[in-house]
Chain A
Amino acid sequence: MFIGAIGCEPLQLRRIHLGNSHRLDVYRANGGYEAIKKVLDSMSPDDVINEVKKSALRGRGGAGFPTGMKWSFVPKDSPKEKYVVCNADESEPGTFKDRYLMERDPHMLIEGMLIAAYALGAKRNYIYTRGEYKYLIDIMDVALDEARAAGLLGNQILGTDFNCEIYTHTGAGAYICGEETALLSSLEGFRGHPRMKPPFPAISGLYASPTVVNNVETLTAVPDIIKMGGAAYQKLGTEKSGGTKLWSVSGHVNQPGVYELPMGYDDMEKFIMEDCGGILNGKQLKAVIPGGSSVYIMRADQIIGKDVRMDYDGLVAGGSMVGSGGFIVMDETVDVFDSTKNLTEFYKHESCGWCTPCREGTDWLVKIFKRVENGGGRPEDAQLLLDLCDNIEGKSFCPLGDAAAWPIQSAVKRFPEDFEKHLAKNGRKEAL
């Protein structure tokens, strides 16, 4: 599997191929912990937030919310404790970038969290890692011990009066805990149910205290932003989304992997056909889901010859979204009815059951898919699926409902031939 940068100097993946890249001495020998030193020596918390704002860094977990703005929502005068929580619950199908960042460069995450904690005045911070990634929790624990022994964690960090602790926490196999408020419920020791927003976590998050939840890739971008300055980081990408982005590529390509590209990379066709080595076994490209399973599926003819720019605005213009940056590439042998059924089963399984539209809706969607697959299709079933999606999208408690609806809506509209083929297998009609 390929891991590396295309079209730019590797930034987040700079150390990833060094021997023992997970060790503190290797990290330090390659520019590590210089950013936190710079912050403690010469920057106020507001300076840090301003640099992050200037960098145009947008949250890499999926929603793409500007990170600096998120940080600035935390009230400075609150007497409550504040928390920085790292969302390492990477469970979006097709996404596997955070895993390699934590496995090979855990200190970059620790440094990013330290800077965030300094900017927000947080003393106690958590890395919420999905339970299946237990080996990563072990790696992080070792790295945290190394940092503690070197005076980079705990009290009086680097001889200053800055005190900060970071702890690992384990999830236990629930996709919903990647949603920030569900993650906080889970971290408090409850079922992973999302909470009503507002109040947003920045006002009332973990233990009802001001909290910032950021993805691994977002936090690991912070040390470089501080070192090179927000403006320089922004220039690596586009005006509205700065820096570089990691894309996980899986499915029918010759070279799957984790690719670091500058934001605004031109273009998606070149990326799939050249950088990722083209389609496996010389087959034709049929469809791509570019942002983890929860975004619109794209037809090959929306990509080939269309100059789709790879950033937040470019992918929306191209007919999908950046999401978590998980490319699932499908060749001509894939039946989009089957692939959509597979994803719908995923959402049914992962719906937390809290709200009715999502809990019942995803269940009914799967029932319809199964009936059609078993030869009980009716011509009106495509519309029935869309009607159901319409009653889930925007009407569920958290974005999981939207995420379940979007793949189906786009698949029915963009691949009607695959659905018609199945709907035509009308065994029930013949039986009647």
Chain B
Amino acid sequence: MAEVLVKIQPPDHPVHMPQPATFSPEVETEIDRHIAKYPIKRSAILPLMFIVQRERGYLDPPGVQYLANRLDLRVTDIWEVATFYSMLQTKPVGRYHIQICKTLSCKIMGEGKITEHVCKKLDIKPGETTGDGKFTLSLVECLGSCGTAPMFQLNFDYHENLTPEKVDQILDSLS
């Protein structure tokens, strides 16, 4: 039998297994608190992804490796979930993520004018990031702010009843 076994040769190129990310004790405590909410660890995957995203800007390979280790899952399990949800970023985004709602109520109340204004002001198109990495612009689906349309979400903050002047004020006040 012994001679049938084939000795597995180590690959001649380095296997890409990033070192998992590390976080401060405060963040670790926050993560523990989320995991404790559920009878099954895996349930904490979305809250934890938001924390990794907040700490590292997006779900980068070390962050994903960390999540897999922390939740006793495979790396592919993490990617599988990360690529499903639109708020999870798997590529870097700007420090300020402008998400303009483009669904019907905002559309008929002047979303087009706001989008055009932001594009002109930042000189980017929807889906792009400014050269200095400060702003990313996205068009997104309904954010539940229909009675105060048009609106955008800047990172996690809602800005409603927008006019081009108000957009200027908001964007100019950001450092």
Contacts and interface: CB of A to CB of B under 8 A. Distances in A.
Contacts of B141: 91, 93, 175, 346, 349-350
Given A169-B47, A172-B85, 20 more contacts: A91-B141, A93-B142, A95-B146, A132-B87, A132-B153, A172-B49, A172-B87, A186-B46, A187-B43, A188-B43, A189-B45, A207-B40, A248-B146, A250-B105, A251-B104, A251-B146, A289-B104, A293-B103, A328-B146, A330-B108
A181 to B, nearest CB: 15
Contacts of B88: 172-173
Interface string B81-113: 100111110000000000000111101110000
A10 interface: no
Contacts of A162: none
Interface residues of A, number: 54
B86 A174 contact: yes
B108 A172 contact: no
B90 to A, nearest CB: 12
A402 to B, nearest CB: 18
Given A172-B49, A192-B84, A328 B105 contact: yes
B12 interface: no
Interface stretch (A56-64, A146-154, A252-260, A299-307): A252-260
A173 B86 contact: yes
Interface of A: 1, 81, 90-96, 99, 124, 130-135, 167, 169-175, 186-192, 207, 248-252, 256-258, 289, 293, 326, 328, 330, 334, 339, 342-343, 346, 349-350, 352
Contacts of A171: 46, 85
Contacts of B81: 189-191
Contact of B39 (A124, A170, A258, A328): A124
Contacts of B37: 167, 169
Contacts, number: 138
A352 B86 CA distance: 11
Contacts of A173: 85-88, 140
Contacts of B38: 167
A191 B144 contact: no
Interface in B35-82: 37-40, 42-47, 49-50, 71, 80-81
A93 B104 contact: yes
B144 A99 contact: yes
B148 interface: yes
Contacts of A342: 102-104, 107
Contacts of B40: 188-189, 207
B105 A132 contact: no
Contacts of B142: 91-94, 175, 293, 346
A384 B73 CA distance: 45
A191 B43 contact: no
Given A93-B103, A191-B80, A132 B85 contact: no
B147 A172 contact: no
B147 A256 contact: yes
Contacts of B107: 339, 342
A334 B108 contact: yes
Contact of A1 (B71, B143, B148, B158): B148
